[in-house]
């Protein structure tokens, strides 16, 4: 059965709260409030197309060449024919799953993980095998021995999100090397969802699986323009691999859905010309938001929070039993001066039953002033909420 989104399932309650006049701080979804680069918006406005035609199934060659150039500037040396443009990173993951696994095969994923991995695995008929990471050590990579215990003849890959959604954890070069060693030892694929690559904080540099030597046949990278350029609605991503068989198989899936969207590719191609100053400003803003959010949360008695090193999410452990109930209660029954918050219950980011029930995910995609108000609402709510 296709699982429900833990991020979107509370929407009806939020809509009802809004109808009653409540103002809501949306901390539940990773929709940045950062402006999309003007260069991307202008490219769509001034295009001269007279027919909005199909593009190539793998994406336009011109765009893929420019993507390859972008990667090379980030020390990722791939060619345009190692890239298939997809309808968002979501489709890239579906193509990856379909290309390397058959029904009932298994993929090992550190949890908590992006909730839609559950949906993608269900749609692909495969099974996620979770290995639990813990808030006590900021959701660092679990010991590699824990991965080894889970490998069976049906295991085909390990999947990570780096930096992580929902944890904000940024894997170190050493951790990537440990994963590289185990996938080579057991002849598995290593899939890395790297859509938050630019969002790395505290002077730490993102290390891609595509930078690791010896993984040419094992590495599959998932990417997207959604977060990088605040272009979630463009629905443009890509699958990247030097494994020619993987690319050839993924292309068959791409051909079956005909082509990625034309206008969105035009916008995404133009976005590659975004100046570094844009990213410098965005990173500075997110670091400030993170610091304020973590500082305010740490002031609340009984709350434990992991400090993210990337992306724009954090997992917060609350002194409650059931965050699903708490999140719904916030929308239905609580407000401070007519204001409340919408959070994402974290249990939906785990596949192990009963884990994460007292945790929420917060996306710090609001202005700093709004984050302070939102955390205060959570603080006041915890004083009166009864499990």
Q: Each residue of 192-221: pLDDT tens digit?
A: 999 999 999 999 999 999 999 999 999 999
Cα 351 to chain centroid distance, Å, stands at 16
Phi, psi of 114 (to 5 degrees): -50, 120
Write the DSSP symbol of residue 168. -
Give Cβ neighbours of residue 21 (< 8 Å, ≥ 6 apart).
338
Q: How confident is the model at residue 1 (pLDDT cuts 50, 70, 90)?
A: confident
pLDDT of residue 3: 79
Give Cβ neighbours of residue 62 (< 8 Å, ≥ 6 apart).
269
pLDDT of residue 335: 97
Residue 264 sits at the vertex; the CA angle it makes with 262 and 270, to the nearest 5 degrees, is 110
pLDDT of residue 324: 95
The whole-number average pLDDT for the span 167-172 is: 98
Q: How confident is the model at residue 92 (pLDDT cuts 50, 70, 90)?
A: very high
- How many helices (H) and strands (E) the chain has is answered by 12, 13
| Residue 8 pLDDT greater than 80, yes or no | no
Q: How confident is the model at residue 143 (pLDDT cuts 50, 70, 90)?
A: very high
Phi-psi region of 220 (alpha: psi -120 to 50; beta: other; left: phi over 0): beta
Task: Kindly write down the DSSP assignment for every residue of 190-254, as one continuous string.
Answer: EEEE-TTTT-B-TTPPP--GGGSTT-TTTEEEEEESTTTTT-GGG--EEEE-S-HHHHHHHHHHH
pLDDT of residue 4: 75
Q: How many CB atoms lie within 10 A of CB 48?
A: 4
First to last CA, the chain: 29
pLDDT of residue 276: 94
pLDDT of residue 5: 76
Q: How confident is the model at residue 111 (pLDDT cuts 50, 70, 90)?
A: very high
CA distance 265 to 263: 5
pLDDT of residue 247: 98
| Residue 151 pLDDT greater than 80, yes or no | yes
The whole-number average pLDDT for the span 130-156 is: 97
The whole-number average pLDDT for the span 290-296 is: 97
| Residue 81 pLDDT greater than 90, yes or no | yes
Task: Tell me how long the chain is.
Answer: 387
Q: Half-sphere exposure of 307 toward its Cβ, with a 13 Å CA cutoff?
A: 10
Give the 3-state secondary structure of residue 305: strand
Q: What is the share, in percent, of the chain residues with pLDDT greater than 70?
A: 99
Task: Kindly write down the DSSP assignment for every residue of 342-355, as one continuous string.
Answer: E-EEGGGG--STTS
Omega cis (within 30) before 358: no
Sign of the torsion angle spanned by Cα atoms 247, 249, 253, 255: positive
Please name each of the domains of the chain with its CATH number.
11-35+277-384 (3.90.1150.10), 38-271 (3.40.640.10)
pLDDT of residue 171: 98
| Residue 7 pLDDT greater than 80, yes or no | no
| Residue 293 pLDDT greater than 90, yes or no | yes
The whole-number average pLDDT for the span 333-355 is: 95
pLDDT of residue 194: 98
pTM: 0.96
Chain segment 233-252, per-residue pLDDT in tens = 999 999 999 999 999 999 99
Burial track 58-84 (b if 16+ CB lie within 10 A, e otherwise): bbbeebbebbbeebeeeebebebebbb
pLDDT of residue 357: 97
């Amino acid at each position: 059965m296709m699982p429900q989104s833990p991020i979107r399932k509370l929407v009806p309650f939020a809509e009802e709260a809004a109808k009653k006049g409540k103002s809501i701080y949306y901390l539940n979804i990773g929709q940045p409030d950062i402006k999309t680069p003007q260069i991307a918006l202008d490219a769509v406005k001034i295009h001269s197309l007279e027919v909005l035609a199909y593009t190539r199934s793998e994406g336009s060659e011109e765009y893929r060449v420019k993507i390859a150039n972008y990667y090379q500037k980030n020390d990722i040396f791939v060619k345009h024919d190692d890239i298939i443009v997809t309808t968002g990173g979501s489709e890239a993951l579906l193509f990856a799953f379909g290309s390397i696994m058959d029904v009932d095969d298994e993929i090992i994923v550190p949890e908590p993980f992006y909730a839609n991995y559950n949906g993608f695995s269900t749609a692909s008929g495969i099974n996620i095998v979770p290995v639990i990471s813990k808030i006590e050590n900021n959701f660092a990579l679990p010991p590699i021995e824990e991965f080894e215990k889970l490998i069976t003849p049906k295991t085909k890959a390990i999947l990570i999100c780096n930096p992580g959604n929902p944890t904000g954890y940024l894997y170190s070069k050493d951790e990537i090397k440990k994963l590289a060693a185990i996938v080579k030892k057991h002849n598995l694929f290593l899939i890395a969802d790297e859509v938050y690559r630019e969002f790395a904080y505290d002077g730490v540099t993102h290390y891609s699986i595509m930078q690791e030597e010896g993984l040419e046949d094992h590495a599959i990278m998932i990417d997207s323009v959604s977060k990088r350029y605040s272009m979630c609605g463009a629905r443009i991503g890509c699958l990247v691999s030097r494994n020619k068989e993987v690319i050839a198989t993924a292309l068959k899936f791409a051909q079956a859905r005909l082509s990625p969207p034309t206008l969105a590719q035009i916008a995404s191609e133009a976005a590659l010309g975004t100046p570094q100053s844009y990213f410098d400003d965005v990173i500075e803003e997110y670091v400030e938001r993170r610091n304020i959010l973590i500082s305010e949360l740490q002031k609340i008695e009984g709350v434990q929070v992991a400090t993210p090193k990337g992306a724009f999410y954090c997992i917060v452990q609350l002194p409650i039993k059931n965050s699903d109930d708490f999140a719904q209660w916030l929308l239905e029954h609580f407000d401070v001066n007519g204001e409340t918050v919408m959070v994402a219950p974290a249990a939906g980011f785990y596949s192990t039953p009963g884990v994460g029930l007292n945790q929420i995910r917060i996306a710090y995609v609001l202005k700093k002033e709004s984050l302070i108000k939102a955390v205060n609402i959570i603080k006041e709510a915890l004083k009166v909420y009864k499990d």
